Structure 1
Amino acid sequence: MIDNLYCYFMKKWTPAKQEKILGTNQRITILNTLIDVLSSDETIKLVDKYIRNNEPLHLMGVNADKINELNKNERLKQIVNSCGVINADGASVVLASRYLGKPLPERVAGIDLMMRLVELCENKSYSVYLLGAKQEIVETTAEVLKTRFPKLNLIGYHNGYFKEQDWSNISNILKELKPNIVFVGITSPIKEYLIEYLQNEGNNSVFMGVGGSFDVISGNLPRAPLWMQKSGLEWLFRVILEPRRLFKRYFFGNLAFLKSVWKEKNK
């Protein structure tokens, strides 16, 4: 069923939908992955432009783990590289860009970008929808955001526990509400598949995958201390919190990423 849906939306997808604004982006390539040379400030301005022009956008953040995965998953690679904005959401990606002689300006951390976009939405009366996580987590996230941003137009939320056959229902909800930004906290790569499906069903929102940000914002998981964030060690803090789930992904994954970057530099 997943493969049938993939074929369906790949036939319907038209790159020209995002080219109007995409053409201004400067990009580099690292390990078959396109990445925009954008700071956080520049990303915010670009997203604002998409919203004002009512252009659909898949706002993507890539780290070492995502790059490793897309090099094993052709479908995911096509989706990532077709996104309108692709940020470096990982210190290792920024370091790799410098090692390869095509430096990126900074890491654009997903949760920080999300909070800045929420602030943008409050200031400009843009509407926001939350999609993902457990019901109690997404509810608490909505409450926290409304407390921090009292004027935020948060028009709805939905947990992430639904099946593929429910995607059309999610699409219909979004078509009715027409949110300017949809933050999606669902596991990759289903998150990417879902966003592309929703866009190809005619939803013109800005869609941003936010990983586990709902868990952090809701208080379900703590965020790394500021010194670890600034030192590029936020991944290590996450491993300490969830060693069984993340140890193999980050330690072996980072080693595989570094090895691949070294090969790219010396080929």
Structure 2
Amino acid sequence: MNSRISICGIPVDPITMQETIDMIDVALAEKKPIHHVVINAAKVVNANKDKELKESIVHCDIINADGQGVVWASRFLRKPLPERVAGIDLMGELVKLAYRKRYKIFFLGAKEEIVKKVVDVYSAEYGNQVVAGYRNGYFSTDDELLIAQQIGQSKADILFVAMSSPKKEIFLNKYKKEINVPFIMGVGGSFDVVAGFVHRAPGWMQKYGLEWFYRVIQEPGRMWKRYLFGNLEFAYLVVKEKIGYNSIKK
């Protein structure tokens, strides 16, 4: 794997979707533990404020750039990433891999009706043999250890966690030994999309980095401040790094 680069102090692996899948495929075959995470503009901003979130990211084995903004920033900073690796697309590819290689998946997160629908969707397409178990994402910190142990007892090969950031990153980093699943990955709101409760942006909007705008259109009251100020903060961090780098060169 190529050496990691840093975007605003957050490491990311300069690898493609296919390279990511190939690495995971080999790791699963060898039963080598892999902790995967994706980063986007918002997560970069938050990780610069939240030490525990940042620690949870930097200790991951594979760090992909999910947000197109991170890819553009890498090019602006002259350390280009080859492409965006969207978490929801990677999840879909890994479900196919699980079906082909007879791996089992545990689904954790979202509301009960949503996670159950996700399991139903994948079971209908690939058969219920790909499912090791599932649980909704609503639980207290007092229940975390028990839930981690229950996931480990499921004998799953893959764990997808659909909870908000930084909760999912911190949970996975804190309990990865108890979870004891070869491949673990946070997938954010992907369950909502697979279950059909949220629509994903059209392909052209994904290509031009406008998925955030599509989310704002769907939920303007909840999303506009988050994305407006989050994107501005990210742009500030990128320009700050660019100016700092140029100053060092001189």
> How high is the TM-score relative to the length of structure 1?
0.88
CA–CA distance in structure 1, aligned partners of residues 198 and 102 of structure 2: 29
Aligned pair 1:159/2:102, yes or no?
Answer: no
- Which residue is 2:116 aligned to? 139
CA shift for structure 1 position 255: 1.1
1:54 partner SS: coil
2:80 partner SS: coil
Question: Does the Cα contact within 8 Å between 2:159 and 2:181 map onto a contact in 1?
Answer: no
CA shift for structure 1 position 201: 2.5
Within 5 Å, give how 1:67-78 maps onto structure 2: 67-78=44-55
Aligned pair 1:246/2:218, yes or no?
Answer: no
- Which residue is 1:35 aligned to? 12
Aligned pair 1:262/2:239, yes or no?
Answer: yes
Aligned pair 1:191/2:168, yes or no?
Answer: yes
CA–CA distance in structure 1, aligned partners of residues 35 and 216 of structure 2: 28
CA shift for structure 1 position 226: 1.7
Question: Does the Cα contact within 8 Å between 2:47 and 2:54 map onto a contact in 1?
Answer: yes
Instruction: Provide structure 2 residue ranges, at least 5 long, that are not aligned to the other structure.
Output: 245-250
2:143 partner SS: helix
Q: Please point out which of 39, 53, 62 is paired with 2:30.
A: 53
CA shift for structure 1 position 95: 0.2
RMSD: 1.3
CA shift for structure 1 position 152: 4.9
Question: Does the Cα contact within 8 Å between 2:35 and 2:61 map onto a contact in 1?
Answer: yes
CA–CA distance in structure 1, aligned partners of residues 184 and 56 of structure 2: 13
1:201 partner SS: helix
Q: Summarize deviations over 1:62-103 as a string: whole Å, max 9, x none.
A: 000000000001111111011000000000000000000000
1:173 partner SS: helix
After superposition, the Cα gap between the structure-2 partners of 1:199 and 1:231, relative to the gap in structure 1 and judged at 3 Å, is same
After superposition, the Cα gap between the structure-2 partners of 1:202 and 1:136, relative to the gap in structure 1 and judged at 3 Å, is closer
Q: Give the AA of the match of 1:90.
A: G
1:184 partner SS: strand
CA–CA distance in structure 1, aligned partners of residues 75 and 203 of structure 2: 23
CA shift for structure 1 position 124: 0.7
CA shift for structure 1 position 202: 5.7
1:105 partner SS: coil
Q: Summarize deviations over 1:106-158 as a string: whole Å, max 9, x none.
A: 11111111101111111111110100000000000100111222375111100
- Which residue is 1:209 aligned to? 186
Question: Does the Cα contact within 8 Å between 1:55 and 1:204 map onto a contact in 2?
Answer: no
Residues matched between the structures, number: 244
Aligned pair 1:80/2:57, yes or no?
Answer: yes
Q: Summarize deviations over 1:16-56 as a string: whole Å, max 9, x none.
A: xxxxxxxx452100111000011000000111122122122
Q: Summarize deviations over 1:4-26 as a string: whole Å, max 9, x none.
A: xxxxxxxxxxxxxxxxxxxx452
- Structure 1 stretches of 4+ moved >2 Å: 148-152
Q: Give the AA of the match of 2:66.
A: D
> How high is the TM-score relative to the length of structure 2?
0.94
Q: Please point out which of 51, 68, 71 is paired with 1:91.
A: 68
Greater alpha carbon shift after TM alignment, 62-71 vs 172-181: 172-181
CA–CA distance in structure 2, aligned partners of residues 88 and 79 of structure 1: 16
CA–CA distance in structure 2, aligned partners of residues 200 and 155 of structure 1: 18
Aligned pair 1:219/2:196, yes or no?
Answer: yes
Question: Does the Cα contact within 8 Å between 1:183 and 1:210 map onto a contact in 2?
Answer: yes
Q: Please point out which of 96, 116, 126 is paired with 2:103.
A: 126
CA–CA distance in structure 2, aligned partners of residues 49 and 102 of structure 1: 27
CA–CA distance in structure 2, aligned partners of residues 204 and 144 of structure 1: 23
Question: Does the Cα contact within 8 Å between 2:158 and 2:181 map onto a contact in 1?
Answer: no
Q: Summarize deviations over 1:142-182 as a string: whole Å, max 9, x none.
A: 00111222375111100001111111221221221121110
CA–CA distance in structure 2, aligned partners of residues 54 and 167 of structure 1: 24
